[in-house]
Amino acid sequence: MNEKNHQNMSNDIDEKLASKRNAKRSKVEQKEGNEKEKIIADLKIKLNEAEDKLLRELAENDNLRKRHEKELQDNLRFAIKNFSYELLNVTDNFDRALNSIPKNDIEQIES
């Protein structure tokens, strides 16, 4: 073999090795790229789930606030209603008590 053929064979071997190294590197980079895309997709899913959970919690909080306000208004309304019913009972009992006193006794007390 002459020097030129040996040099050509050496160059061919170097090119094949470089080609194989580039192919391996390309596969590794592609695998890393796929892993990164998978991680990004997983993170996007988790972000959407967190946003959904946050919106649900905010809605629940708003519903609790509205329910509490309604209960306060209802309690105030029923408290006034109950007080007026009790007051009616007192006035009815007072009227019955006054009506049960004989008129002669009332006239004596007034004079």
End-to-end CA distance of the chain: 154
pLDDT over 60 at 1, yes or no: no
Token code pair at residue 80: 């006034």
The length of the chain is 111
- The more confident residue out of 59 and 39 is 59
CA–CA gap between residue 83 and residue 72 (Å, rounded): 16
Q: Mean of the per-residue pLDDT values for the chain?
A: 82
> Could you read off the pLDDT of 83-105 as tens digits, one per residue?
888 889 899 998 898 888 887 77
- Delimit the domains of the chain by residue range: 3-110
CA–CA gap between residue 80 and residue 86 (Å, rounded): 10
Q: Supply angle C-alpha 96, 100, 103, rounded to 5.
A: 125
